[in-house]
Amino acid sequence: MEYKEIIEIFKGAAANPGGQAGQWKKEHEGKIFGFLLTDVPEELVHAAGFLPYAVNAEEGMLDFADAHLQTWACSFSRNSLAAAVQGKLSFLDGLIIPQTCDTTRMLMGIWKHVRPLSFMENYRLPRQVDRPSAGDYLHGELKRLKERLEDFRGREIKEDELTESISLYNRNRRLLRRLYMVQVKTPQLLSSKDLFTIIKASMVMPREKVNFLLEQLLAACEAVTGSDHKVERRRLLISGTLLEPLELLDFINEKGGLIVADDLQNGSRYLEADAAENGDPLEALVQRQLKRMPSALYEPQKQRRAKYLVNLAREKGAQGVLFLHLKFCEPENYDYYDNMQAMEKAGIPAMRVETAFGGIPPGQLQTRVHAFMEMLGGEDVD
Amino acid sequence: MKELMADYYTRGAEAKEKGIPVAWVTAVFPVEIIYAAGLFPFYPENFGAVASARKLADKLSSAAEAKGYAHDLCAYSRCGLGDAHSREHPVGEIVKPDLLLCCNTQCGSLSKWFEVAGRFYEAPYFLLDAPQIGIEPDELSKQYYTAQLQELIAFLESFNGKKFDYDRLREVMAYANEACRLWNEILETAALKPAPFGFFDACFHMAPIVTWRGTPQAVNYYRNLQQELENRIKNKVFAIENERFKLYFDHIPLWPKLRWFSDICASHHALVAVSQYTHSWAYSFDLERPLESLAENYTEAFVNRVFDYRIQRKIKLMQRYDVDGFMLFSNRSCKPNAFGLYDKKNIISKITGLPGVVFEADMSDLRFFSEAHVLARLEPFFEQLESA
């Protein structure tokens, strides 16, 4: 297959995630377990034999959420619930919500009453990650979730089954990290939006198929060396909880911008940190979770997020930082002042834009992103 | 009461002068440990409530908003952060922390606010993390919380440079037990028909149970209040004139409009008798196993429970106080208490047959308050109540 054809397959899945999931269900007579982004151990769900499916901005009509969730809840939670209310997630057999903020702590109760499924569980993540109690507790919580999945499927999830799934997901993360580098080194082959679209698609497609496609895609892309050299690209770090709308990346690329790093839940935070493939697999998942990059959702005792971001920007040679504020996302908003101060001190130009899930990206966002890129000296790319 | 709170703030300033460390603490944190460790607990939430009641939340918030904090964040935190970033202190300057201790059962806004404040004031921060509990308490959460209490005590021992005194902890917990017992007996008087005491009185008298439980002052305060209520009952002095209805209310009051709101209810002869909010401080500790008992009492509180448990809890309170209807306040500042209320209203009405109403506003910030909206929601509710 031509590499462009492979990209099109991913684009198709991202544009119609429910369609391809429904297709899979019909073909495999399997069960699909939805999860909210993104700190859910998909490996466990996969080892149980179910297809993990990221509920991620199915094009819903937000009005459908109005009777159940206030308009001042973030558009991610409202969009997800609206999709469920509208019946756009009717192929789901189960749902796992990671409790990472006040909204995700409250959403399951509403969802249960609005669209009950036969399996619905909260994944109660520890919010402090540095003290010994966090690891012990998380091991217990993963064990609880594993037992619930075992009850549902009617038999035990064996250690080697889980290790196999871990290995599959590790491979997937490695491939996606390589693809990230393709976007940085040869942006003429893969736009930033294509990269993040592939990440998004991989969260809803069977991972074996994703890995198969990614290997072919990488083989084609990595054979090409050297950038187009038409313009000098501006290197950007983007930071926030969730990236949406993905059109935002086009606004960056249009003005000669390139994403060299990020700390997004549906970006690098999803791709980094592999789990060990030897020893107790549950413990491997515990360690992977606790060692992930700092985020607004967890209390950072040892590694302050602002400092981490400055170091990341320097290490990747970022010339600017774009902070994304998903409107109504409290945790992210509380971190902004510290992050911004740190960038100022480090002499790294930074700007914040407000974003939301659903609907057409507003022109204002484009204007602001373009203005920032021009400030960084970015030039138009044809 | 006002003098007592003024005294509390003076003592905070005095503690600073005497070199007693000031620990910022959240309302549903095991403050018993702080008292036992010889620290002075300061409640920034109380600072937010006072600023809100004085209608100064918008002004303080604007200083926080100028630094990039959005106006959709919890208003208490905007008051605190606004005070930190501002040269003017219309409510009096917040007492600066020497350390910050937060439990996240109530919400994630507090834990982020404390994290931010810890950086701002350059003081150490300890997060006591509480996973949400389902209908039944689970051993895993309890063990996690208890393990963290041990980590907290080690943190405090290292901060204080001395061993933690468990005998003192038991003594403090005994005072807390007594204060909680008295407070709940006082709240029960709202079930009398007519009642000498209601929710708005409870809001006025709740500061000691939140901030001083574990001290003899709180016990004395509520003994006196109980005596006063007995006198009121004897002299037939009631909370409102001609009480006809009793109501349940969720959750934090509209501080800047408290009087306005209570007058509306009184004009319909409706006594707001009960709320999960004022019933939050109903602890009963087992002094023989102090840490486990703290863990049970603090994690099993309704603020840390799932949707269905909260519905059960509300219905139980409604039944105990034999209410005629319920009002649910969708408080912009308080996502965990507001999210789910729309469905809860329908479910509770279906189960109990009681009329209910949900209205939108903010506990502090008058920019999110519309008198017309609240009245438009309340009027049909009262009509329904009166025609029942």
pLDDT at B5 over 70: no
Q: State the CATH number of the domain containing residue B107.
A: 3.40.50.11890
Structure confidence at residue A361 (pLDDT): 67
Query: pLDDT tens digit string along B69-120?
Result: 999 999 999 999 999 999 989 988 899 999 999 999 999 999 999 999 999 9
pLDDT at A195 over 60: yes
Q: A61 falls in which pLDDT band (50, 70, 90)?
A: confident
Q: What is the CA radius of gyration of chain A?
A: 20
Average pLDDT over residues A215-229: 84
B28 shares a domain with B177:
no
Average pLDDT over residues A45-51: 97
Query: pLDDT tens digit string along B160-215?
Result: 999 999 999 999 999 999 999 999 999 999 999 999 999 999 999 999 999 899 99
Residue for token pair 């037992």: A147
Closest CA to B95 of B143, B39, B137, B174: B39
B200 shares a domain with B121:
no
Q: Supply the mean pLDDT for chain A.
A: 94
Q: How far is CA A343 from the centre of its chain?
A: 24
Q: Give the closest-approach CA distance of B164 to chain A in angstroms.
A: 20
Percent over 70 (pLDDT), chain B: 98
Could you tell me if A57 and A38 are in contact, meaning their C-beta atoms sit under 8 angstroms apart? no
Domain end marker among B140, B164, B188: B164
Q: Chain B within 8 Å of A353 (Cβ-Cβ)?
A: no
Compute the distance between CA of residue B220 and CA of residue B172 in angstroms, rounded to an integer: 14
Complete edge-to-edge strand list for the sheet that includes strand A350-355: A257-262, A234-239, A320-326, A350-355
B195 shares a domain with B130:
no
Q: A227 falls in which pLDDT band (50, 70, 90)?
A: low
Query: pLDDT tens digit string along B294-342?
Result: 999 999 999 999 999 999 999 999 999 999 999 999 999 999 999 999 9
Structure confidence at residue B11 (pLDDT): 76
Compute the distance between CA of residue A110 and CA of residue A69 in angstroms, rounded to an integer: 8
B316 shares a domain with B294:
yes
* Cα angle value B183/B188/B191 (rounded, 5°): 155
Structure confidence at residue B287 (pLDDT): 97
Task: State which residue of chain B sits closest to A142, comparing Cα positions.
Answer: B140
* B72 neighbourhood in chain A, CB within 8 Å: 72, 327-328, 330, 333
Give the helix ranges, DSSP H, for chain B: 2-18, 31-36, 44-53, 57-65, 75-84, 108-121, 139-160, 166-188, 199-205, 207-211, 216-234, 258-267, 290-299, 307-320, 335-338, 341-352, 371-387
Domain end marker among B117, B142, B164: B164
Q: A137 falls in which pLDDT band (50, 70, 90)?
A: very high
Helix (H, G, I), strand (E, B) or coil at B297: helix
pLDDT at A201 over 90: yes
Q: Chain B within 8 Å of A110 (Cβ-Cβ)?
A: yes
Range name among A219-223, B149-153, B219-223, B379-383 with the lowest pLDDT average:
A219-223
Q: Chain B within 8 Å of A106 (Cβ-Cβ)?
A: yes
Structure confidence at residue A358 (pLDDT): 79
Contact flag A133-B343 (C-beta cutoff 8 Å): no
Q: A360 falls in which pLDDT band (50, 70, 90)?
A: low
| Structural tokens at position A376 | 């960084």
Q: State the CATH number of the domain containing residue B345.
A: 3.40.50.11900
Counted across chains A and B, CB pairs separated by less than 8 A come out at: 138
Average pLDDT over residues A180-193: 94
pLDDT at B64 over 90: yes
pLDDT at A110 over 60: yes
Task: State which residue of chain B sits closest to A333, comparing Cα positions.
Answer: B69
- Domains defined along chain A, listed by start: 1-28+158-229 (1.20.1270.370), 31-155 (3.40.50.11890), 232-382 (3.40.50.11900)
B105 shares a domain with B193:
no
Question: Which residues form the domain of B156?
Answer: 2-164
Residue partners of B158: CB distance under 8 A and separation at least 6: none
Contact flag B68-A112 (C-beta cutoff 8 Å): no
Q: β-strand A257-262 against A234-239: which pairing, if any?
A: parallel
Could you tell me if B356 and B318 are in contact, meaning their C-beta atoms sit under 8 angstroms apart? no
Compute the distance between CA of residue B52 and CA of residue B138 in angstroms, rounded to an integer: 37
Compute the distance between CA of residue B258 and CA of residue B114 in angstroms, rounded to an integer: 27
Instruction: Please report the residues numbered 99 through 158 in chain B whose beta carbons come closer than 8 angstroms to any beta carbon of chain A.
Output: 104, 107-109, 111-113, 115-116, 119, 125, 127, 129, 131-132, 140-141, 143-144, 147-148, 151
Average pLDDT over residues A295-315: 92
Structure confidence at residue B3 (pLDDT): 64
B214 shares a domain with B331:
yes
pLDDT at A57 over 80: no
Residue partners of A265: CB distance under 8 A and separation at least 6: A37, A38, A39, A241, A242, A295
B129 shares a domain with B192:
no
pLDDT at A270 over 90: yes
Q: A350 falls in which pLDDT band (50, 70, 90)?
A: very high
Compute the distance between CA of residue A330 and CA of residue B39 in angstroms, rounded to an integer: 30
B235 shares a domain with B154:
no
pLDDT at A151 over 80: yes
Neighbouring C-beta atoms of residue B27, cutoff 10 Å: 21
B154 shares a domain with B198:
no
Structure confidence at residue B159 (pLDDT): 95
The partner residues of B40 in beta bridges, in order of sequence, read B22
Structure confidence at residue B6 (pLDDT): 67
Q: Chain B within 8 Å of A345 (Cβ-Cβ)?
A: no
Q: Chain B within 8 Å of A152 (Cβ-Cβ)?
A: no
Domain end marker among B134, B164, B194: B164
pTM (2 d.p.): 0.96
Helix (H, G, I), strand (E, B) or coil at B355: coil
Could you tell me if A119 and A95 are in contact, meaning their C-beta atoms sit under 8 angstroms apart? yes
B173 shares a domain with B112:
no
Compute the distance between CA of residue B206 and CA of residue A130 in angstroms, rounded to an integer: 35
CA distance between the termini of chain B: 38
Preceding omega of A245 cis (within 30 degrees of 0): yes
* B129 neighbourhood in chain A, CB within 8 Å: 126-128, 134, 299
B138 shares a domain with B100:
yes
Compute the distance between CA of residue B91 and CA of residue B82 in angstroms, rounded to an integer: 11
Structural domains of chain B, count: 2
B311 shares a domain with B187:
yes
**CA dist B150 to A131, A378, B128, B146, B157, Å?**
11, 54, 11, 6, 10
Total length of chain B: 388
Structure confidence at residue B240 (pLDDT): 96
What ipTM was reported for this prediction?
0.95
pLDDT at A75 over 60: yes
Q: Give the closest-approach CA distance of B385 to chain A in angstroms.
A: 23
